[in-house]
Amino acid sequence: MIRRFTIVSLDHIRPGDPPLALGVASIAAALRSAGVKHEVISVNVADGAPNFEDLTKRVIETECTDVAIGAFVWNEPYTQELSRRLHPFMNVGLGGPQITFHNSKAKKEPRLEDLYPYVHWFIRGPAEQPMIELGLGQISQPTGIHFAGENAQHFKILVAIQSELTVSSDAL
């Protein structure tokens, strides 16, 4: 499945800062270079919460299949609210430090799906390559993408089958 992304950047931009976060600019450049359709919506949350009704409408109007939101400590409540509003209309994905550094293997830590119940997929670590592969529908190996719920099992099966095929063809 080929996807079309809208990247929502809920940044804490101070006077003198660039208007777009470097990480988002890097992801957008990688997607553009790979021919993956995308748009970027940057919202400065330095002065408080965005207008969620307007932002939700704006994202829906992009007609994307997936919205990707960067999760940071300063935008956690906004990330939660936006993902809740958007999940009925499209796939919601999260990346960023809140996802990358969450230790869901620790005994008392909840799973990402429990913390973010409206999210369909998560990216840990650098997002450029996983988003290209997801956007082109060519996920060839585990690249930091974690699918929530049932999709996670289908992804594990796909990776196992593809790994088996790679091993078999290497033996020839």
Q: What string of pLDDT tens digits covers the 172 residues of the chain?
A: 789 999 999 999 999 999 899 999 999 999 999 999 999 999 999 989 999 999 999 999 999 999 999 999 989 999 999 999 999 999 999 999 999 988 867 767 788 999 999 999 999 999 999 999 999 988 766 678 888 875 454 444 443 433 344 344 444 4
Domain carrying residue 101: 5-171
The model scores a pTM over 0.85: no
Q: How far apart are CA 134 and CA 122, in angstroms?
A: 11
Cβ burial 35-44 (10 Å sphere, 16+ → b, else e)? ebbbbbbebe
Residues 6+ apart with CB under 8 A from 147: 120, 121, 122, 154, 155
- What CATH number is attached to the domain comprising 109? 3.40.50.280
**Which residue(s) pair with 146 in the sheet?**
122
- Total of domains in the chain: 1
Give Cβ neighbours of residue 15 (< 8 Å, ≥ 6 apart). none
